[in-house]
Structure 1
C-alpha cells in the first residue's frame, strides 16, 4: 500500500482528533466580528476557499480567500489565516511578510518549528495530520473538519461517514474514464477544486472543477461517454444528472458528508493512477513544499 493510500485510510481517526481541538480553534479561526483573509497555495488555497465560505455563511464576519502568490495588501483585514502543511512555502511566507502592521497573523500547519512560526501571532499545529506523501489528503480534510467544528457545526456523523467512504465501492471502473468533472456548491466548490487537483497530481489525468450550476454554461460541451461528472452536495434537483446523461457521461453524487465524499474521490484518484501505471507517492514534477530561491 502506498503512503498516499495509508493516509487516505487514516482520515476518520485523524478527523476525530481534529474535532477534539474545536474549542481551542474557535478563537483563532472563528474570530467573531473580525474581517478575515484566508490564504494558501494549491490544496491549501482550495481549503481557504471552503473556510471563507463556511465562516461568512456562519455569520462570523466578512471573509475572503486568496492564492498566497496573488496577495496584495490593498484591502484591510483584522486577521490573516495562512494554511500551510509544511510551514515553508515561499509564497505563503512572503504573503505574511506583506501583511500590514496591526493585522493578526495565524497559521494552521502540520509541522512545528518551521519558518512560518517567526511570522505569526498564533498558530495551530495539526502534527497528527502530517503526511509523508507529496499529495495532500488527510491534512486538508483535518483542517476543514476542525474549522467546521470551531464554527459551531454539529458533525456527529462525520467520522462514521468517513469510514463508510473507505469501504464503499468506487462509482465506476477507473478504466472506463478518461475525463473527470467535479462540481460543488457553497463551501464544497473548494472541495470540487481539490478533488480535481488530486486526479491531476496522482494520476496525471484530465480533470476539471466548477460551481455545480455553472457546468451548463460552457464546460458541458466537452462531456462525453468517457466522462464522470461528480457532484459534491446538491445537484440541482436532478438537472445535472439529466445534463450528464444527455452528454453520454456518467453522473455521480451521494448523501454522505462532503468530506467523506472527498475521501472517495481521493481513493478514485489513487485507483486511476494504478490503472495508468503511476505511483501516487511520486507525482510528476511535484515536491512536498514549493521553496523558491
Structure 2
C-alpha cells in the first residue's frame, strides 16, 4: 500500500507520543510554573491556525476549568490583524503560540506583533524545538509529535495532552493523576478504533457528515470534521451540540452521519439531540465513555473507557477512532490521505 503509508502509522503511534510528552513535561516543569502558573496575567490567549486553533480551544477550556482563571482561544490572525478587537488592550496577557511545525506564518506574525508591547508576554508549544517559534520564545516540545504526513494526527493529540498536563501540574489535585493514566489507556483506544472505523466505513455510504461536541469537545469536533475533509475531500460540518438544533439540523436526512462526541457533564441533554437526529433519518454514531440504556437508540457506539476520568482528561481519547474514520473514508474513495490536494504541512503567507 502506497496511499496512506505515512498517516496510518502516525495515527497508530499516539500512545507512545503521549508517554513521551508526559516524560518531557517532567523536564519542563519550570516552563509550566513560569508561564501557565504565573498569576500576573489577566488573560491567557492560546492561538493557532487550522488544527492548531482547535487545539487552542481545548487548551483554553481546560485552563479555565482547572485553574479558574480567564483564558481564550483565537485564530492567530486575530492577534496581528484585530488584536484590540480580540483582547482588551489594558489586560496583562500571555500569548501562547500553538504550531506543530513552529513555522506557521500567522503564529509567527502574531508573536512578533506583541513582542514590544509592555503588557504582553509570549510562550509556545510545538513539535520542533529548532523551529522559528522554538527560537523566538520559550516552548513546550512534544518529542514524538513530529510527522511526515500533511494532516495532523498524533501531533494534535500529543500537543493537546501535553498542554493539559502542564495546566494540571499547576492546578494540582486530581487532574494530574487523571492525565497520568491516559497514555496507558490510549493504546487500546487506538487499536479498537482502527477496526471499528474500518468496518463502519466499509459497511456504509454516507453523503453528509456532521460532528457535534460541547465544552472542550467542541474544539475536538471541529478537528475531526477537518480531518475527514482534509483526507477524503468530502463536505462535512461541525457544531456545538445543542446549537445544531437551531437551524443547521435542516440538512439532516437519510444518508447523513451525525457523530456526537458525548460528554458526561451534559450527557442527557446531548443524547436528546442525538435522538432527534435519529428521528430525522440520520445514522447516529456516539463516541462515549461507556454504553448505557440511554444509548441503545444509536446506530453505532464506540466506547473509549476512562470512566473514572473527567471529560477534559479524556479529551484526546476521542481522537483516534475519528481520525481513522477520515483515513478509511479517504482510502475507500481512492484518494491519498498522506498528500491532500491544495495542502502543505506548513502554511505561509
Question: What is the TM-score normalised by the length of structure 2?
Answer: 0.78
Q: Distance in 1 between matches of 2:94 and 2:121?
A: 5
Query: Residue 202 in 1 paired to residue 231 in 2?
Result: yes
SS at match of 1:289: coil
Q: Give 1:143's aligned residue.
A: 159
Q: 1:287/1:19 Cα in 2 relative to 1: closer, same or farther (>3 Å)?
A: same
Q: Structure 2 unaligned runs (5+)?
A: 169-174, 290-303, 305-313
Q: Which residue number corresponds to residue 249 of structure 1?
A: 282
When Rg is computed on C-alpha atoms for both structures, the one with the higher figure is 2
Q: Say what the alpha-carbon RMSD is for the aligned residues.
A: 1.9
Structure 1 unaligned runs (5+)? none
Structure with greater helix percent: 2
Q: 2 CA distance for matches of 1:60 and 1:123? A: 23
Q: Which of 83, 86, 89 is equivalent to 1:73? A: 83
The residue aligned with 2:201 is 173
Partner SS state of residue 167, structure 1: helix
- Matched with 1:107 is 124
Equivalent positions of 1:1-293 (< 5 A) are 2-23=5-26, 24=29, 26-27=32-33, 30-33=36-39, 34=41, 35-71=43-79, 72-74=82-84, 75=88, 76-99=91-114, 100-120=117-137, 122-152=138-168, 153=175, 154-168=178-192, 169-170=196-197, 172-173=200-201, 175-234=204-263, 235=267, 236=269, 238-253=271-286, 254-255=288-289, 256=304, 257-292=314-349
Instruction: Say which SS state the counterpart of residue 38 (structure 1) adopts.
Output: strand
Deviation of 1:28 after TM superposition, in Å, equals 5.2
| Count of matched residue pairs | 291
Shift of 1:59: 2.3
Alpha-carbon distance between aligned partners in 2 of 1:134 and 1:206, rounded to the nearest angstrom:
19
State the 1:32 CA deviation: 4.5
TM-score of the aligned structures, taking structure 1 as reference length = 0.93
Per the alignment, in what secondary structure is the counterpart of residue 225 of structure 1? coil
Show structure 1 runs of 4+ deviating over 6 A: none
